[in-house]
Amino acid sequence: MRCQTILVTGASGLLGYALTNRLRREADVLPLGFRHAAPETRILDLADPGALAVLDDLRWDALVHCAAFRSPDYCEQHREAARHLNAIVPARLAELARRRGARMIHVSTDYVFPGTQPPYREDDPCRPVNYYGVTKREAECGVAAAYPEAVILRIGALYGAPDVHMGSPLLEEALRALWAPPPVEVDDRVMRYPLFVEDVAEVAAFLLGRDDAGGVVHCGAPLGVTRLGWARLVAGYLGAGSDGLVPTANRSALSALRPLNSQLAVDRLRAMGGPLPRGADGVLPGVLAGCGDWIRSLHGKVTAK
């Protein structure tokens, strides 16, 4: 990798935390967070008008921008704040990165697609079905206009290996369903392709070392599951029962619409010789075997209520 100092925004979040740990093997990393403390993270509100001047005063030659409001339900209900952080800030950061000739990876999402004709390639038309996707698509356009050489890395639903600093919402969701009193209705309609966060970090490290990576790059995992399929997969690897789970296709009236199947085709990453993300069947057994303490602690909290 030719970068010396990499600024990672959202380093107190699931992806930024994994990226910080991975990129530190090859470069200095300046991790930025906001409301939550992660180890050695510098606190900066990127939505603050003065934030860019602060960043401009720091020494860095690469930027991986992960910070965002990533909950579709939150974005639906807080549109102004969501548009500012998710769409306006990335374009400004891209301008800053271009001016100093720094490499940039902007993290985007499979939710820019409508989910009706998977798998999606990088140049397929975008048509988000929820406001989160709208903001992320606006960001892609703003980043590309400000800095055409920037990488726009589209990723799917993330899970990680939980540790003392970081949980894993996708794993937690499955475990809570498995531990809830039956019957538990779980969505069996919307397909997701759970992506191990450390696989994304490998891809980002690879892309930071390439001169020809500019533009959109897809990073998606090959195994698709619904929420129900995911919970059953987790149960299977834990040797737990999942008979209490009941398939449903009903969407909560309060939640934002999700694309039905926004699988990302990874042909460009493959053609570049990049590391391809693994399916959850190849990763989950090891992750679950390594997080027994976290599972027991979560179980204690859930059953104490």
Ligand X SMILES: NC(=O)c1ccc[n+]([C@@H]2O[C@H](COP(=O)([O-])OP(=O)(O)OC[C@H]3O[C@@H](n4cnc5c(N)ncnc54)[C@H](OP(=O)(O)O)[C@@H]3O)[C@@H](O)[C@H]2O)c1
Cβ proximity to ligand X: between 103 and 258 the closer is 258
Q: Shortest approach of ligand X to residue 190 CB, angstroms?
A: 13
Which tokens is 52 given? Answer: 């860019």
User: 42 forms bridges with which residues in the sheet?
Assistant: 32
Calpha distance 149→170 (Å, rounded): 33
Stretch that binds ligand X, among 140-148, 151-159, 242-250, 293-301 (CB under 6 A): 151-159
**Residue 269 · residue 212 · CB < 8 Å:** no
Could you give the CA distance from residue 98 to residue 278 in angstroms, rounded to a whole number?
32
Catalytic site residue 237? Answer: no
Q: Does 63 bind ligand X (CB under 6 A)?
A: no
- On the 0-12 / 13-18 / 19+ scale of CB atoms within 10 A, 192 is buried
Instruction: Give the count of alpha carbons within 13 A of 172, CB side only.
Output: 14
Q: Does 55 bind ligand X (CB under 6 A)?
A: no
Under rule CB under 6 A, residue 35 binds ligand X: yes
Q: Binding to ligand X (CB under 6 A): which residues in 236-275?
A: none
- Rounded to a whole number of angstroms, the minimum distance from the CB of residue 204 to ligand X is 11
- Give the residue among 37, 99, 102, 33 at the shortest CA–CA distance from 68: 33
Binding mask 119-148 for ligand X (x = CB under 6 A): -----------------x------------
Cα–Cα distances in angstroms (integers) from residue 136 to residues 95, 97, 255, 305, in the given order? 17, 19, 18, 36
Q: Is 10 in the site for ligand X (CB under 6 A)?
A: yes
172: amino acid identity, one letter: E
Site string for ligand X, 82-101 (x = CB under 6 A): ---x----------------
Least separation in angstroms between CB 17 and ligand X: 7
**67 part of the interface to ligand X, by CB under 6 A:** yes
Q: Sheet of 151-155: strands edge to edge?
A: 42-43, 28-33, 5-9, 62-65, 103-109, 151-155, 215-219
Per CB under 6 A, does 15 bind ligand X?
A: yes
93: its two tokens: 């950061």
Six token digits for residue 137: 């698509």
* Least distance from ligand X to the Cβ atom of residue 42, Å: 10
C-alpha of 73 from chain center: 16
The stretch among 27-35, 177-185, 232-240, 277-285 that binds ligand X (CB under 6 A) is 27-35
Given the complex with ligand X, which of 107 and 303 has the nearer CB atom?
107
Task: Find the binder of ligand X among 21, 64, 70, 199 (CB under 6 A).
Answer: 70
One of 17, 120, 131, 132 is an active-site residue; which one?
Answer: 132
- Using DSSP's 3-state secondary structure scheme, residue 271 falls into helix
Least distance CB 31 / ligand X (angstroms)? 9
Amino acid sitting at position 253: A
Tell me which residue has its CB nearest to ligand X.
Answer: 13
For residues 284 and 221, the answer to whether their CB atoms sit within 8 Å is: no
Q: Of the candidates 3, 7, 8, 12, which one interacts with ligand X according to CB under 6 A?
A: 12
Site map (CB under 6 A) of ligand X, residues 176-205, x = contact: ------------------------------
Residues of this chain that interact with ligand X (CB under 6 A) are: 9-10, 12-16, 33-36, 45-47, 66-68, 70, 85, 107, 109, 136, 155, 157-158
Provide the annotated active-site residues: 132
